[in-house]
A and B are shown apart, each in its own frame.
Chain A
Amino acid sequence: MTCEPSRTNRSSRLLIALLGVGTMLLLAICVLSGPSGFGLPAVDTPMGRAILSLRLNRVATGLVVGAALSCAGVIFQALLRNPLAEPYVLGVSSGAGLGAACIILAGLGTAITFFLLPVTAFVGAMLALLIVLAVAGGTRASVYSLILSGVIVSSIASSILMFLVATASHEGLHSVIWWMLGNLQPTSQGQMVMTAVVVVGGIAAAWFIAPQLDALTLGREVAHHVGVRTELMTAIGLLLGSLLAAAAVSLAGLIGFVGLIVPHVMRSLLGPGHRRLIPATALAGGVFLALCDALARSVLAPREIPVGVLTALCGGPFFLTILKLRGKKGWVE
């Protein structure tokens, strides 16, 4: 035997350690920054405690949403064998948007809307997914018909959404648009914790089918031949990806870029094997979003920039550099 496996093991252990320390550091920075200034709020005053809890909540939300979106991106890119696949590719975003808009524009009163919004967004997202799957022809459907049905269902849902927005009253309009921009202020802590549980469970389940995802990137026929139950695994993967995306959307609205780019960057750094890629991408996506949000809160304080604006603005150049340097290590076609 050669020393190759142990060397890769050592380097990956080092990387994991580095990631762990880096994560802690970055998260600490996130907690320390905010519109009230950089530094730990005075925890001996009730005001300080409130600020701290608010910040902790937001950082946690950023972690959960970022992890969910980038993990969903990894799954969709593997199953659809398409570098442009992202969490919203199967109509999840438009479905969730439509669901949310419906409940906002229904004008049921703030309290009920507040409570129902994430639920309807989630239901809308999963409905859109089911329609896409039905239109494409189930899990036997080709990648091509899945993507095409996703685009069509998305467009229809968007059109309805646009129609609703165009005919809506002014105050409703504002909330819908603000929701669509994405916002990491959780509506309630309970909702955040619930979503976190769903997301962690989803990521763990995705990690569990990592060898099967590896094989599925060779195409369904080859995966079948090496012993993967392709239909079942495709179904599980698509459901998990959409579940993660829907959970993220229902918590924080539409946040782009993270789910598309973070998987690519992590793949170019770590290689395409999903056993390492899934946890690493989830972590990186979470930290990245939390960082962007910290920036969004503090740059123009006390005003807040929508975090979706910052993800692409700050992340874009950084990730472009990484992809330019190491792009060949990830995606080759």
Chain B
Amino acid sequence: MSIPALSFNKVTGGYRHVPVFKELSFSVDPGTLCGVIGPNGCGKTTLIRAATGLLPRINGHVSLFGKPVSSLKATDRAKCVGVVPQELSTPMAFTVEALVAMGRTHAREHRHALSSEDRRIIEQAMVYTDVMEMRSRPFSELSGGEKQRAVIAMVLAQQPRMILMDEATSHLDINHALEVMQIVERLNHEADVTILTVSHDLNIAAEFCERLLLLDQGQLVADGTPAEVLTEARLRQVYHCDVRVQPNPVSGSVMVTPSPRLASGHSGKGLRIHCVAGGGSGEEILRRLHLCDYTVTCGVLNHGDSDSQTASALGMTGTFEQPFSAVSAQKFVEAETQVRQAHAIVICPTPFGPGNAVNLDLAARALDQDTPVFLATGISERDYTPDRRATQTAAQLVERGAREWQTVADLFTLLATIDASAEPTSEREPNDDA
């Protein structure tokens, strides 16, 4: 095994009081084209800052080609690693050629003027990224794609052994993004430059990288080929949304497409749902149910609670208790009426305490009359009742046939199984949707 181009060994680091990653370890072999993906705020950009020694507070070891980054001189570090930022701006009217020449800064610390060797390297870099004909134009007047090519030329003029791309294509349209990635890929193949690209675009990452690292909340959750890393289950878990992963017949890699929106094709017209929510746990669900034309009631909620505000904003009826008060017997009866009229009961991932645990009894009443109950999993972690009553009640509900769900997508799959006509309830009134 050769010395890795970049290695992180149990690195914990971040900003003041907020560690972005904890004990992160991985290494990148020289000559690879490797991608780092992950949701916003997962630590991708911080990882690049750590790799170039820009992160002040850091524990653990970051090495570039076997040398600790903190011990490298600035000029030596620049010979090891160059960075293509998301966007580069200068307030001054440097020409493209002058900008590319800045890549030679590390060679000019003691010798001021550009040598003929420097000039040759600069020209070569401009030829490589095809910015030769705009060499005398001000950098600031270029289009986004041209700018990024000029910046890559600057990084090339640096002649680094490894290039880090920090969301370098995220401001570009698909054509220019591909163009930039092709330049980088060619560099990797022809000049054996190690590439580590941080990207939001899963498809570009899958297309160009031979290896992907998936970060989530500062932890490495997957590491392997694109096909190994990009699985539907893992992406759902990390990105909290539904995607479809299919093999790409052309490239042999995989493609990620967003699943059809939940709202489309899913109609709850004529169906009445009663929601048990609180503390903001139901906002998203109430909104989606509303989008799908369900008739929604909710309660018992406290006035002023963010869920009760959402419900009012969406024009839903509900049962509302005074702020910060426990559910009274009177309000319970009122909510029970709504439950009796519902085709299904949805219990959101709400924290339960002595004040609102009684809402779970509403679900028990629903099961009494064979109305389906859909319960968010993991109630024991949100149970603040002193006698663990909520957890016990939930367990009983599941025993009696309540179905559990984890993500909003799961919930909607369950909701799709309700059949309005099959429900044998005499008390249910015709729906009043307009």
Contacts and interface: CB of A to CB of B under 8 A. Distances in A.
B102 A225 contact: no
A211 B108 contact: yes
A64 B52 CA distance: 42
A215 interface: yes
Interface of A: 1, 4-5, 78, 81-83, 208, 210-212, 214-215, 217-219, 221-229, 267, 271-273, 275, 328-333
B90 A218 contact: yes
Contact of B92 (A4, A222, A229, A267): A267
A222 B85 contact: yes
B92 A331 contact: yes
B112 A208 contact: yes
A81 B91 CA distance: 7
Nearest to A220: B54
B98 A271 contact: yes
A83 B106 CA distance: 27
A225 B82 contact: yes
Grouping DSSP codes into helix (H, G, I), strand (E, B) and loop, the B interface class, with mixed when no group exceeds half, is mixed
Contacts of A275: 112-113
Contacts of B75: 227
Interface of B: 52-54, 74-75, 77-79, 81-83, 85, 88-95, 98-99, 102-103, 105-106, 108-109, 112-113, 119, 123, 135-136, 138, 140, 154, 158
B406 to A, nearest CB: 40
Contacts, number: 103
Contacts of A214: 94, 98, 102, 105
Contacts of B95: 271
A78 B90 CA distance: 10
Nearest to A233: B74
A78 B94 CA distance: 12
Contacts of B138: 328-329, 332
Contacts of B52: 224-225
| Most chain A CB atoms below 10 A, which of B54, B85, B90 | B90
B13 to A, nearest CB: 16
B112 A226 contact: no
A227 B91 contact: no
B135 A4 contact: yes
Given A211-B105, A211-B112, A332-B140, A224 B90 contact: no
Given A224-B74, A225-B78, A227-B78, A272 B92 contact: yes
